[in-house]
Chains A and B, each alone.
Chain A
């Protein structure tokens, strides 16, 4: 093999080099290609085909897009979808706002204390989402959590976090706790790459730190902000882990179709409707892609993701 290559190099013709690139480029990338095919393309195609069929006691028959027509008139799916959209609208700005504030504070304030804070804020990333949700579930509990006695200290009654009214805020809090640090670290490093000459002169001209942050630093890291927003958007629309874990503690407040992913899971298992589960899953994935494409279209200038 080595000898063959040596000959190639000596001939050095462009066509030989091109042929070599063609061969070895594929050799290196084909394992990923196979995995991509087996665990992304084929499952998606299979799920799509399944979604075109309906099965009942009489057997399975082709029903075209009937399942999709059903999904988009199914109040269980639509209310779950509406709920994750609402979560997205509330949660994404809170997480990103906090992440950006922390990143700017840590960037303006570089010392030992700041680097310890950065580590602590990032710490929840090392804890699985399931454990994070378990911990907060315990914290919310009237009997095991600290809030009952903390509120008593001020003569107040602790709110019931695991009630119909409290659960939305309770879940927003779990996710904010889990992910803010991760987004903060991404934004913080983007800020590190902003050349300091850009704002040193503004500072000498008497611009306030706040002004420097909003007029120079934030615009300079807008591509990272866009990327982080997309991550957060995709993650929230696919909401599953946290409500599933909290459902164990509050089964009457969080039902089995609370989010579209939970609904798809319930359909596949509890209701034994795999075809319709495939439909829900596919419809949700499609909506997520549309959301991200729309978002990227409107932020094309900032994102730098065009190529």
Chain B
């Protein structure tokens, strides 16, 4: 942030200088450039309104009663006279024995544990690929690159069929185990180790008599920490957002993650009788469920951005 501001003020300074030195023609160009800034600001404001609109709608909707969602006095984009957020939260605790919180808990288990295990595996593999020469390495790594091309959704039905065969459907394992596969994590870790972990450092540890495991834990891991954080965040987000796989492999609603649970309430509200319509729970439930990730997103922004770009900047 500070560097960006610094650059901006620096180039602004350069602009003024140039304006002073070169005649009226240049001043005209600068004026046009000023209009372009207005254009940019307008475009960005419109874009922000567009990207915030549904989020604002959700915040407002989370505070409404079931009928308030349909007949709110001040329209869909403003709060109704009755502020029902606390009532909705109370109802989330009692409706179907408070299964909503069970879904939230499940989502945390799938995301945090699944993400952690897949990160451990990716970190080890990335380190192995970056720092050791071994027979079959090239072919093995090409498989990793190939796996990047296969989207996880393409594997859902095959995994479901296999899991039914071995009797693992409808267990937490059916959701947790497939998230261990994270070829993107391996790829990012390998790039990071190659760039930021000098071979000399590892060699020095070896000469000092440290074993490979000791070198890995004491020398390499501390240097890899920023990349590990990124990979952990990305795999946690991936697992948290997962929908297709749990929707297919789970039928027991007690095991649902929040994404599957909320869509079940949505379809129940759409199809069911009036007493089964829980639109207010779908909206307030959705709102509460996005809070943890949005907070993590705001506070850990530099880690996300780092991971998303590490692979792309290379060329």
Contacts and interface: CB of A to CB of B under 8 A. Distances in A.
B313 interface: yes
Interface stretch (A60-68, A71-79, A89-97, A237-245): A237-245
Contacts of A143: 69-70
A190 B283 contact: no
Q: In the complex, which range does the number of interface residues on chain A fall in?
A: 35 or more
B58 interface: yes
B132 to A, nearest CB: 3
A47 B124 contact: no
Interface stretch (B81-89, B93-101, B142-150, B222-230): B142-150
Contacts of A40: 147, 150, 155, 181
Contact of B154 (A5, A38, A288): A288
Given A135-B54, A146-B77, A248 B154 contact: no
B262 A134 contact: yes
Interface in A25-40: 25-29, 31-33, 35-36, 38-40
Given A5-B212, A25-B132, A29-B140, A285 B76 contact: no
Contact of B44 (A21, A114, A268, A277): A114
A149 B210 CA distance: 71
Nearest to A31: B121
Interface in A126-157: 126-132, 134-139, 143-146, 149
B273 interface: no
A18 to B, nearest CB: 7
Interface residues of B, number: 111
Interface string B143-184: 110010111011111111110110000000000011011010
Most interface-central of B133, B154, B260, B294 (chain A CB within 10 A):
B154
B286 A134 contact: yes
Interface string B240-258: 1101100110000000000
B180 A128 contact: no
Contacts of B237: 126
Contact of A120 (B5, B52, B153): B52
Interface of A: 1-2, 5-6, 9, 18, 20-29, 31-33, 35-36, 38-40, 42-44, 46-47, 50, 101-102, 105-106, 108-117, 119-121, 123-132, 134-139, 143-146, 149, 177, 181-182, 185-186, 189-190, 193, 206, 209, 223-224, 227-228, 230, 234-235, 238, 240-241, 244-245, 248-249, 251, 261, 264-265, 268-269, 274, 277-278, 280-282, 284-285, 288-289, 292, 304
Given A145-B76, A281-B157, A285-B150, 13 more contacts: A6-B209, A21-B133, A32-B124, A32-B144, A39-B177, A102-B44, A130-B241, A135-B58, A138-B57, A186-B309, A238-B154, A245-B266, A289-B150
